[in-house]
Chain A
């Protein structure tokens, strides 16, 4: 039974599933292969899927009573923390209650499985209902290449042929390297480790504590003590009856400071403010995963070659410019654009670089590459020690002074500010950061 597919997608994460949805909708004959027991079984994510692309894939997803998502975000908070204090910028707006939502919290093992179900429904309605597949529990070992063109894949001793291959294998991109789109050696310096706990509460308790209404939710990012002096940041997202609490931390910096992600998370959880925030919950899940830093220097040389495209984090598409981690939305958009390119290639009967390069163009024109390019400075700045140490310390110090009323003559806030600055940073450094910050955001 050696039949040829239009496309084989490797990886059933966000990027792969988004691509599959578009292929199914366009009546393509394809195979999606996921190595986990089911789509999502191997996926870890803190969890906010930003933007509106989900509505493109699953129109009206918000109407589904028990869809794959947990809560929509209408409350955002950015928190600076030092050892004892937190200083937050808080924004909540009913504007965010409108559908399609601009961000939904997801738990990947549930969300991916749900999305895979939606893709299957689309397949069932397509012209290739019997010939297109989502196959799980199968690991792709190799992309078959002929004259430097991808022609299929091998798993164990089985080979399958296709006109094109979409690599959506995630950050651990062995096949991307095998086809020669990325050097074998990617310095770990530009990678982060993400770890996350899912902590369960009585749903009522959770809703009261975080002032949630119906399925509204909150996202909270943390800068400073949350990573115990290591570059990175923390996060807290509300799910239906759990929270996702975790952090991302630079691998190189952790190594140099001899800290493990586990220790850092414990420090974060031990912070007096966090203790109050999370008390009474029961940890029901713990997971860790590598994340790209969003540094363009680790991006593959190119995102395509004859017969093959890279989507999602296998191309290191990720953005973390301080206000949110964006990996899933970029994965989704790149999957959509990648699949659209394959559809075009099929129409033209040309799967060579000639067509594939249009994927790159589409990506360049979209917010994905525009944001990645525009915010590189912010990305670099975020990884500078001032940002995860001096600035939060300074802000919290100022906050402590500002909010203290101690029956002594009160100084003007300007004066408080300059005292804090002297203690935690020099004027010169601050001006540098301010300048860099203004430029980068």
Chain B
């Protein structure tokens, strides 16, 4: 029994405590520990740390998750879809499902509907701006068709603002599901490939609020405002002041 007495490393003591040694080595280390009481006590203490962590935090496993962490639509919309090909759609549906819950969000300083609006806009931004091959459904070369199509689907006249004076060119746009009906997203890009999105939806509540408001969601800045029957949200990974300049250009384009 002299073989097992070869040195046991510090790493192996931890691996022993965590049950990560193979059976043979585990037995050898156990034999070594039997004649090294100080190390044996230390290993025992590490195991007690693990047990204590479980005792302290395992109850969390049984706690019901708050609504904001659940996403019921996920269950119905994923079934049978080829995951990778429809990744963007899947992500959108998953997020859309969550947004329903965000409407009931707890302790939000903004009104529920506004919060959902901002979230939808930023989520749509996050989902579609990384797209390389399919960032938009209808490209800028068919701008007239894009405007006519989205106007028809949103049920109001939708104008496509031009942001070249701010250094951004239109990439195109797409139709999206909003909480109260169809919504539209226009995407812009500057020379460095930095992308902004303008999210447009009909304002169901009929509010006349027109002030620019600013929010940050997941590192994405968003200026949002309501202009007559439409709500707008301009999202981008930009400094607030930079984004505001673009938001003003959008506003002036829409209100010449």
Q: Do A and B bind each other?
A: no
Residues of B within 8 A of A (CB): none
